[in-house]
Structure 1
Amino acid sequence: MLTKAELQRYNRQTILPEFGIEAQEKLKRVKVLIIGAGGLGCPILQYLAAAGVGNLGLVDDDVVDISNLHRQILYSENDIGRKKVEVAVEKLNILNPHVELTSYAQRLTTENAESIFAHYDIIVDGSDNFPTRYLVDAVCARLKKPLVFGSIFKFEGQLSVFHYQGASGYSHLFPEPPAEDEAPNCSDIGVLGVLPGIIGSYMAVEVIKVITGKGEVLVGKLKTVDIFNNTTLIYDIPKTEETTVQQEVAAVKPDEIIEIDDVTFDTWKMDLSNPIFLVDVRMEHEFEALNIGGINIPWYELQDRLDELPKDRKIVFYCQTGQKSKMAVFLHRSLSGINSYSLKGGLNH
């Protein structure tokens, strides 16, 4: 039930015939987790807190930097150097003391994602990197959690709702990430400050629609917004059978990737004390055309073929560029608990 103070606070929403008190009560009961308290996370957090979402969780291990301030308007110069989640909780409590806030000042990984997600009804991905996006998508698929997704690039943004009402996931729309040199982040390429505010606000709207059941949700659709050319497009996402393989990707530390690109395959074979087991994670026809030995298990089949991998040898995954092999490493580690490695740079290196 809404208190008198809450009824007064949310009056302009509840008097909407299409919304009403019942929808407001649904907002109060739900638990929403926001991944990232940066450019997208700030407007998402502010609008969901202001709208009266009863329980908000936020995950981010970053601190406020002066370069954040042109777009992450939840923060100010006085906050530089402080943990973003700590500052966000303070300011959101001032914005709306009726909202319960839980912060996780840590990086999302395969080790902690599932335990954190389990406490929430809806997951909102405002992260800024592909490994985290694939990880969030995989865990949402496994736990059957609706996922509101958004991303930004220079003057363009996109958003969709996955794993809701039978919708497929992010990895269905984007089966693999682009090469590292094809997907620079905003620290490398830049972003117009108002863009995350626009896309983040759109994402907050989708969250509210999922919670309340009001309006048309972006299920099975991808919305793109170009603020430079004033264009907004909505694409249908083709329906296919859900794959049983989920990409389990986490942000990996540099020392978790072994650099073996300067060692020849002949040297590996000669190292009998620590033999390497090679796995090519490309498609079968790619493996047949060119390979450096080992067996071929396309990365998307790895989950069903774990029994083909030894537990007493150093497993090295490789592909053409090093991207798919990284995903294979993360998936293998999360499923088996056994350490494995990616050939840095792949066959192109």
Structure 2
Amino acid sequence: YLAAAGIGRIRIVDNDTVDETNLQRQVIHSNAEIGESKVDSAARRIQMLNPLVECEVHQTRMTTENALDLLNDVDVLIDGTDNLPTRYLIDDACAIANIPWVHASLFRYEGQVTVFNHENGPRYRDLHPDPPSPGTVLNCEEAGVIGALPGILGSIQAMEAIKILSGIGEPLSGRLMLIDTKTMETRHLTYEASTTRQEITELNRHNDYAESRCATDGGMPMNSMTVTELHDLMQQEEPPFLLDVRRAEEEDICSIPDTDLRVRHTDIQMHIDEIPSDRVVVVYCRSGIRSMTAIHALAASGRNPELLHNLAGGILAWSAEIDPTMPRY
């Protein structure tokens, strides 16, 4: 919609490649682009729609090292991210560069849209001063989402960006638009800039807006293991104890070979005696969220946190990096 409206220059930032699982909601891509960088795929589709638009692509993640450079000469930023650390980074970078940004987020059938930092208006940190505990927020793959919902929210974001750029109408600054697509009801919540908010003059380069290790709700450091590391350990004489915390119907679809035990993450406490206390335990689920909850429960039961490892990316990562023949769901 931005290209069709005649926006002259669009800068696209994404380090990912097109995956089949993206296609039900990221309709700018198609089956023909699977495996291709998302920025190149998107730029080509934009050029097909409007060859007069200048597309500038950056196949990278936004970090503290490049955020301000990526915002150079930008008039408005549209947030298409799916993780909280990057949103806090965007908010701080836009505050420093004095750039408004249009935010949207969703959960299953519900979504929300607002505009931050518009003409010294409220910022993301005013609405969300502190990030929630790691593991308490699900991503699209874990929570599930109907593909039409991102389309609805993206269209609203495009309209807000056009309003900001053209100076027409009243942007959603200080107003959070909520939509429930099950009932198609919408409502607006108002919010204001915090009187105690600290001004941002530089980006925090010490933690890059993300911890290198995960933490559970209680603040306990959590070890993370990649699927490659697990695969290598499974070849050893004493492999780790492999715990699957998915539902039974998910196990019927696929499982990592040599899984020792499957217990739903909500039932960990009832099966605590079946899980060894003197071995390395690797916990996995579909994408790595429920397994974090399970590790928290194990640690709360007195298990040594140093022996507990969360499988990063879950069985989806195993399918992508170790066994491409494994079904994805």
What TM-score comes out, normalization by structure 1 length? 0.59
Segment drifting more, 175-184 vs 189-198: 175-184
1:101 & 1:117 partners in 2: Cα distance? 15
Residue 238 of structure 1 pairs with residue 192 of structure 2: yes
Segment drifting more, 176-185 vs 142-151: 176-185
1:87 & 1:253 partners in 2: Cα distance? 31
- How many positions carry a matched residue from both structures? 220
Match of 2:161 in 1: 207
Deviation at 1:243, TM superposition (A): 2.0
Match of 1:97 in 2: 51
8 Å CA contact 2:108–2:144 kept in 1: the answer is: yes
Deviation at 1:116, TM superposition (A): 1.0
Change (3 A) 1:159 1:226: same
2:19 & 2:193 partners in 1: Cα distance? 41
8 Å CA contact 2:18–2:35 kept in 1: the answer is: yes
* Larger proportion of helix: 1
Deviation at 1:105, TM superposition (A): 0.2
| Percentage of matched positions with identical amino acids | 38
Q: Map 1:240-279 to 2 at 5 A.
A: 240-241=194-195, 243-246=197-200, 248=204, 250=208, 252=210, 254=212
8 Å CA contact 1:108–1:251 kept in 2: the answer is: no
Q: Which stretches in structure 2 are left out of the alignment for 5+ residues?
A: 223-295, 306-329
* Corresponding residue to 2:28 among 74, 87, 93: 74
Deviation at 1:250, TM superposition (A): 4.0
Letter in 1 for 2:154: G
Deviation at 1:254, TM superposition (A): 4.7
Letter in 2 for 1:212: S
8 Å CA contact 2:114–2:175 kept in 1: the answer is: yes
Match of 1:323 in 2: none
Letter in 2 for 1:158: Q
1:170 & 1:131 partners in 2: Cα distance? 12
Change (3 A) 1:228 1:98: same
1:48 & 1:206 partners in 2: Cα distance? 11
Deviation at 1:123, TM superposition (A): 1.1
8 Å CA contact 2:126–2:193 kept in 1: the answer is: no
Deviation at 1:177, TM superposition (A): 1.7
Change (3 A) 1:260 1:157: closer
2:210 & 2:221 partners in 1: Cα distance? 18
Residue 85 of structure 1 pairs with residue 39 of structure 2: yes
Residue 127 of structure 1 pairs with residue 71 of structure 2: no
Deviation at 1:256, TM superposition (A): 10
Q: Map 1:14-25 to 2 at 5 A.
A: none
Letter in 1 for 2:98: K
Match of 1:52, SS state, is coil
Residue 146 of structure 1 pairs with residue 96 of structure 2: no
8 Å CA contact 1:168–1:242 kept in 2: the answer is: no
Deviation at 1:197, TM superposition (A): 0.2
Deviation at 1:61, TM superposition (A): 0.4
- Which runs of at least 4 in structure 1 moved beyond 6 Å after TM superposition? none
Match of 2:133 in 1: 179
Change (3 A) 1:88 1:253: farther
Match of 1:126, SS state, is coil
Q: Map 1:276-291 to 2 at 5 A.
A: none
8 Å CA contact 1:110–1:135 kept in 2: the answer is: yes
1:117 & 1:183 partners in 2: Cα distance? 27
Residue 219 of structure 1 pairs with residue 170 of structure 2: no
Residue 61 of structure 1 pairs with residue 15 of structure 2: yes
Deviation at 1:166, TM superposition (A): 2.3
1:205 & 1:260 partners in 2: Cα distance? 43
What TM-score comes out, normalization by structure 2 length? 0.62
Residue 194 of structure 1 pairs with residue 138 of structure 2: no
1:261 & 1:160 partners in 2: Cα distance? 34
Residue 162 of structure 1 pairs with residue 116 of structure 2: yes
1:191 & 1:255 partners in 2: Cα distance? 27
Letter in 2 for 1:217: P
Letter in 1 for 2:28: L
8 Å CA contact 2:122–2:192 kept in 1: the answer is: no
2:220 & 2:161 partners in 1: Cα distance? 45
Segment drifting more, 114-123 vs 132-141: 114-123
